[in-house]
Amino acid sequence: MSALFDKFNDGGPIFSYPIMIMLLIVVFLIVKGFIQGNNNGKTIALLKSVGWFALAWGFLGRTFGLIVAFDNVASRGELTPSLLAEGLKMAILGPLFAIIVFIIARAGVIFFLSMHKKGDFHPDGKLKTDL
């Protein structure tokens, strides 16, 4: 468990911990929708939104990780593998966590959409409850 928290800290806690909170929200929405059984459009829309937000947040973290990596290289005036690896690790871990959250959210969306009957959809592909 300690190794997991170390990875979250390596990925930049400002970005990794909010992604973890988004993962908890996604799991909560999936469980809530599964238990209630009324997989309405609101649950699906929330899953989509949280999944996309997690992905965007992770790639924002990647951008900051790259900036930190290049700042470290610029401040030292030399390029060493360990110096660059620290920033690159931060740049890679955030999007990795975010992609995992996104995939779980999309799996929930696919599951809920598969539970709807064919007549639940408007001809433009939206759920009738979304209209």
Residues 42-96 have pLDDT tens digits of: 889 999 999 999 999 999 988 887 887 788 788 888 777 877 777 777 788 889 9
Q: Tell me if 5 is assigned to some domain.
A: no
Please indicate, yes or no, if residue 84 is contained in any of the structural domains.
Answer: yes
Beta-bridge partners for 121? 127
Does residue 106 fall inside a structural domain? yes
120 within 8 A of 128, measured Cβ to Cβ: yes
DSSP structural state of residue 39: -
Domain that holds residue 89: 23-116
Q: Distances in Å between the alpha carbon of 5 and those of 1, 2, 8, 86?
A: 7, 5, 5, 16
Number of domain units in the chain: 1
What is the pTM for the complete model shown? 0.79
Q: Is 8 a domain residue?
A: no
In a domain, 125, yes or no: no
Task: Flag whether 41 is in a domain.
Answer: yes
